[in-house]
Structures are given as structure tokens and as C-alpha cells.
């Protein structure tokens, strides 16, 4: 994600987040953890933590723990010496070393393998690391920023995340509030993205129809700010009016806003992970279960940018079965 600017918003939770970023950025804290549902702005906050610190003249290194294969992670992070293993024909500098004097961002920290969690902890404590194949340790001065869209305590209880690393990270935590709990910030963000897209797409969309403001305030925004950004961009590309109209809003959002079912999202930042909606239980069993299925599937699709294969993996069902459900429920991936 390219650096895009400030954290927009006037809701007290966002004002507080901005204040925290400034305090932490300018402090000596060398570890920070950022919690927030998908699309709430964790990547943006991580970057601001770097930009607003004395470290901003040095590198900001972004490590996506879910994207780098576990077997390559150690040498990616720490580098290696020539001859450390077959194929290591020359020494290589790792990402930690490249971030010296700057910040390193461990996105999706939950995905880091236990062995590497241990190495990371020792690095956090000593600010020293060893290249693969080296006996000597090297000093670095790096700020570690971690992010996760799920509370880590559950992983700690399940034995998947080291408790010592968890406590170490927990010292300075920044929690980003979901968009649906930020009141009218959704409208401020909408204006902000409209300005950006007006210039990017050379358009002149003035404002939004009042009904759209109501929809935006009522909608659950499972994909948070990113979902809003993507929705607006799509409208800029596909619609030709100079105002954003209610009929530009996709039917799945209208259905959710008009129905009174509170959606259920498996990735919710809560310990139990699932909240039922008491209002939808008991009224009509078949409708309630279909709504429930629809919400789970929509959330999985939104989280995976419409990728059916990935969504099916998240839901623990076959791609074929998910396709079938999508057709049955009249959803669009
Ligand atoms: N308060 C905000 N003001 C302006 N832009 C924002 C704000 N919050 C998020 N954004 C923008 O929304 C998009 C999503 O944010 P970001 O990628 O930081 O979310 P994330 O929490 O890292 O998501 P994920 O969990 O999916 O990685 C980005 O384009 C980001 O710049
Ligand atoms: Mg991110």
C-alpha cells in the first residue's frame, strides 16, 4: 500500500488514535501492536507511526507474514551468509537489517510460525539478530510494528501464539475502531475519497444524495474503510451522474440496510468470533438460516476481494459448493 495521507476522521476514537500515533511515534517505544478489523486502516496507521517519528528518514519495511512462505521467512528476515545452505552463493541482507534506523511492519503477525515468533522475541529483547549461517550477532535499531485483525489472546490460549511475545507486543497497543462505530466519519471519508477520485478520474461529482448518507450511516461496513473506498471507486468508474445516488448502491448493501438482520462476521474482532442476531431467530427459520448463510458468504467474498476459491477456503467448504450457494442465494461474487 502506498502512503496516501492522513488518518481522516473527527470521531473521538479516531482523534484519540491520531493522538496515540503521535505520542508513540515520538516515543522510544520499540514495539507497537495495531488491532483492527480488515480495512480499518492498520497499514495506514503503521506508516504514520513511521512517518511521524525520527526514523522517517530511514526505511519502512513492510513484511506480510501471510504472504512469505514459512521456509523462506527466516532468511528473508535475517539474511544469510555465503554458503549458509545449498544455493546461498552470496551473502544476503535481510529485511531486519534493511530497516536499521527505521521501522519494520509485521502485517498479519498471527501467521508467523512459532519458531520465528521465538526468534522475533529474542530480537525485540536484545535488538540483536544473527544471519542464517553466521555465528556472530549484529545490533540493529529498529521499531517493530505488528498488526492483526484478530485479538491474539485466542491464539495464545490455543497455543498458536507465544504468550511471551504476546505480552511483549501488548505493551503499546493501538485499537482502531470499526467504521460502523465512527458515526458521521463515514461521510467525511466519503468526501475525502470523492475528492481523490474526482482528480484521479477527472470527474466532478459534487455530493451524495441524502438517502445515500442514510444508507452509509446504517450499513455495517464489514470491509470498513477499504470497502467504502472500493464502493466509491466503482461508482466513479461505472456511473455518469454528477451526484452519487441511492440507485448506484449495490443491491446486497441495500438488502442488508433494509433488512434488520445484524450480519454475522467470522473475522469479527471478538473472542467468540460469532455473534448471533436474536431478532432473526424464531421469526422464520428458513429465511433466518438463508440470511445467515448469505452474510457469511458475503463477508468471506468481501474479505477475499471476490475470490471464490479463497472465500471457500475461509469457509471450509469446496469451491464447487460455494459456487452452488452463491447461485442459490442470488449473490454476486
Ligand atoms: N481514516 C482514514 N483516512 C483515510 N484513509 C483511510 C483511513 N482508514 C483507511 N484508509 C484507507 O483505506 C484503505 C484500507 O486501509 P488499510 O489498508 O490501512 O487497512 P488494513 O486495516 O491494513 O486492512 P487489512 O486488514 O485488510 O490489511 C487504504 O487505502 C487506506 O489508505
Ligand atoms: Mg493491511
Segment 213-237, tens digit of pLDDT: 999 999 999 999 999 999 999 999 9
Q: Match 503499546 to its residue by C-alpha cell.
A: 172
Q: From the CA of 263, how far away is ligand 2's center (Å)?
A: 23
| Predicted local distance difference test score (pLDDT) of residue 33 | 96
Segment 305-332, tens digit of pLDDT: 888 888 888 888 878 788 888 887 877 7
Does residue 42 have its Cβ closer than 6 Å to ligand 1?
Answer: yes
Residue extent(s) of CATH 1.10.10.60 domains in the chain? 259-333
- For 259-333, which CATH class? mainly alpha
* CATH no. of 192-248: 1.10.8.60
Alpha-carbon gap, residue 256 to 209, rounded angstroms: 19
Q: From the CA of 43, how far away is ligand 2's center (Å)?
A: 4
Does residue 36 have its Cβ closer than 6 Å to ligand 1?
Answer: yes
Percentage of the chain surpassing pLDDT 70?
Answer: 90
Contacts of 182 (CB under 8 A, 6+ apart): 9, 11, 13, 14
Residue extent(s) of CATH 3.40.50.300 domains in the chain? 12-175
| Predicted local distance difference test score (pLDDT) of residue 277 | 39
CATH of 12-175, one of 3.40.718.10, 3.40.50.300, 3.90.580.10, 3.40.640.10: 3.40.50.300
Does residue 222 have its Cβ closer than 6 Å to ligand 1?
Answer: no
Does residue 178 have its Cβ closer than 6 Å to ligand 1?
Answer: no
Q: Indicate which ligand has the atom closest to the C-alpha of 304.
A: 1
Alpha-carbon gap, residue 35 to 42, rounded angstroms: 7
Amino acid at each position: 500500500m502506498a502512503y496516501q495521507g492522513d488518518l481522516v476522521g473527527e470521531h473521538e476514537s479516531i482523534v484519540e488514535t491520531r493522538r496515540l500515533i503521535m505520542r508513540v511515534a515520538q516515543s522510544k517505544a520499540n514495539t507497537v501492536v495495531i488491532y483492527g478489523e480488515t480495512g480499518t486502516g492498520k497499514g495506514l496507521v503503521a506508516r504514520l507511526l513511521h512517518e511521524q517519528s525520527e526514523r522517517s528518514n530511514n526505511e519502512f519495511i513492510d513484511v506480510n507474514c501471510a504472504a512469505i512462505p514459512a521456509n523462506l521467512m527466516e532468511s528473508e528476515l535475517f539474511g544469510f551468509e555465503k554458503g549458509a545452505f545449498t544455493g546461498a552463493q552470496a551473502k544476503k541482507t535481510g529485511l531486519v537489517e534493511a530497516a536499521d534506523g527505521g521501522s519494520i511492519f509485521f502485517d498479519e503477525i498471527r501467521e508467523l510460525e512459532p519458531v520465528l515468533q521465538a526468534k522475533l522475541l529474542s530480537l525485540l529483547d536484545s535488538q540483536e539478530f544473527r544471519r542464517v549461517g553466521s555465528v556472530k550477532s549484529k545490533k540493529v535499531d529498529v521499531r517493530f510494528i505488528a498488526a492483526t485483525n484478530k485479538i491474539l489472546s485466542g491464539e495464545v490460549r490455543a497455543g498458536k501464539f507465544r504468550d511471551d511475545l504476546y505480552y511483549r507486543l501488548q505493551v503499546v497497543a493501538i485499537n482502531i475502531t470499526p467504521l460502523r462505530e465512527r458515526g458521521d466519519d463515514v461521510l467525511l471519508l466519503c468526501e475525502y475519497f470523492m475528492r481523490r477520485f474526482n482528480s484521479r478520474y477527472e470527474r466532478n461529482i459534487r455530493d451524495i444524495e441524502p438517502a445515500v448518507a442514510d444508507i452509509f450511516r446504517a450499513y455495517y461496513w464489514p470491509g470498513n474503510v477499504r470497502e467504502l473506498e472500493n464502493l466509491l471507486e466503482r461508482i466513479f468508474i461505472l456511473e455518469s451522474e454528477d451526484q452519487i445516488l441511492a440507485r448506484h448502491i449495490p443491491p446486497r448493501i441495500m438488502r442488508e440496510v433494509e433488512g434488520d438482520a445484524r450480519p454475522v462476521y467470522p473475522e469479527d474482532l471478538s473472542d467468540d468470533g460469532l455473534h448471533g442476531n436474536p431478532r432473526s431467530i424464531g421469526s422464520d427459520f428458513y429465511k433466518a438460516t438463508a440470511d445467515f448463510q448469505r452474510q457469511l458468504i458475503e463477508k468471506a467474498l468481501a474479505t477475499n476481494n471476490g475470490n471464490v476459491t479463497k472465500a471457500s477456503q475461509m469457509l471450509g467448504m469446496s469451491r464447487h459448493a460455494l459456487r452452488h450457494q452463491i447461485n442459490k442465494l442470488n449473490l454476486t461474487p
